Amino acid sequence: MATTIFSEMSALAVEYDAINLGQGFPDTPGPQEVVDAAVAAMRRGLNQYPPAVGVPALREAICAHQRRFYGLELDPASQVVVCAGASEALSSALMALVAPGDEVIALEPFYDLYAATGALIGATLVPVRIAAPDYRLDAGALRAAVTERTKVILLNTPHNPTGAVLSRAELEDVAAVAVEHDLLVITDEVYEHLLFDDERHIPIATLPGMAERTVTVSSAGKTFSVTGWKIGWATGPAELVERVLNVKQWFSFASGTPLQHAVAVGLDLPDDRFAALGRDLQAKRDLLTDGLRELGMEVYHSKATYFVTADIAPLGETDSLAFCRSLPARVGVAAVPNQVFHASPEGVETQVRFACCKRDEVLADALLRLRKL
């Protein structure tokens, strides 16, 4: 196990007083109602251990959210577990549902936690690449990746780092493979409300035959710009959620009692507040995308998330890892090389991920610094 690229780039950002467009965290305080609810919960004395499964108010709010936005009916008593962020939910789900020697299919590029957790389990991560510029899923490649050892398909949509959003047709292809081979699906949906250009997020659990085989993971961190709170959750069939809880209780047991109460308030915000999340971030995506293109980079269209992917080959660069490691010292900006999200860097040697979830003046300053290149 090595230091994550996010820790490495963030440390370089601090060392060189660089603008951090590498690690995906906003620089705004989040919705006032949510922050105020956390403070109020602390002052009411809600500061002790919550139930391992999560406080009832939040579990009920999560179920109401899934019903309101997606028409999914869940039992808050048995079909939701609150975790210390989506990371713990994902790791717990993988450890609960995958055994040593099993194979897990994941869309490549993939968040580095997926491969790390697979390694801890002794499972094999089998990548199915979605490639620039369109980042479309090839159903034939997915089907060809299935073997007798395949246990789980691990999805991420909206997708980090590419900003892709799987269409209904692509999700139907995944569902067909899962049903045909009796596979479980774990789906990472933390960017579910951060969509651009009228894109629509479709949880695969809403497709026929999928609710009974899908564990859905999401969190409050990205939605409400409170990434440091680490309040996430997993939902799904009661028997699968129970297995996730049985693992998760040995990691954190429970966390963030007042923050859980605050997230319950956030999930009850009106529809227009959720719609504004993607709309506001889309303007930042456009600002960063246009600026990077003006600098000569090729920028791939991001449909969602905090991120924009750019190709630095037009600048004469040949290695994104070396480029990102030198960038804080060279110009005072930090970014992340897309190589680290791939099993092999072949074909993505010059792709770099930049975060757009910063104040406009910070993005403008970063682009001004990048002109030094």
- Give the pLDDT confidence of 334-366 residue by residue, as tens digits: 999 999 999 999 999 999 999 999 999 999 999
* 319, amino acid identity: D
Say how many CA atoms lie within 13 Å of 112 toward its Cβ: 15
Q: What confidence score (pLDDT) does residue 1 get?
A: 59
How many angstroms separate the CA atoms of 325 and 3, rounded?
A: 14
- Candidate CATH numbers 3.40.50.300, 2.60.40.60, 3.40.50.720, 3.40.640.10; the one for domain 32-268: 3.40.640.10
Cis peptide before 133 (omega within 30 of 0): yes
Q: How many helices (H) and strands (E) does the chain have?
A: 12, 13
Structure token digits, residue 112: 């580095």
Segments in the chain forming alpha helices (H) = 5-15, 32-43, 56-70, 85-97, 112-121, 139-145, 168-181, 238-248, 257-266, 271-294, 320-331, 360-370
**Are the beta carbons of 282 and 305 closer than 8 angstroms?**
no
Q: What confidence score (pLDDT) does residue 5 get?
A: 86
Q: Please list the residue range(s) of the chain that carry CATH number 3.40.640.10.
A: 32-268
**Are the beta carbons of 188 and 111 closer than 8 angstroms?**
yes
What is the 8-class DSSP label of residue 358?
S
Q: Please list the residue range(s) of the chain that carry CATH number 3.90.1150.10.
A: 5-30+272-370
Tell me the pairing of strands 307-311 and 351-355. antiparallel
**Are the beta carbons of 318 and 348 closer than 8 angstroms?**
no
Tell me the pairing of strands 103-108 and 80-83. unpaired
* 288, amino acid identity: L
Burial 227-260 (b: 16+ CB within 10 A, else e): bebbbbbbbbbeebbebbbebbeeeeebbbbbbb
**Are the beta carbons of 76 and 100 closer than 8 angstroms?**
no
* 70, amino acid identity: Y
Report the CATH superfamily, name and number, of domain 5-30+272-370. Answer: Aspartate Aminotransferase, domain 1 (3.90.1150.10)
163-169-171 Cα angle (round to 5) = 65
Terminal alpha carbon distance of the chain: 33
Question: In the chain, which residues have pLDDT < 50?
Answer: none
**Are the beta carbons of 363 and 284 closer than 8 angstroms?**
yes
Total-model pTM: 0.96
**Are the beta carbons of 341 and 111 closer than 8 angstroms?**
yes
Structure token digits, residue 348: 């993505």
Structure token digits, residue 154: 């691990």
How many other C-beta atoms can be found within 10 angstroms of the C-beta atom of residue 27? 11
Sign of the torsion formed by the C-alpha atoms of 244, 246, 247 and 251: positive
Q: What confidence score (pLDDT) does residue 6 get?
A: 86
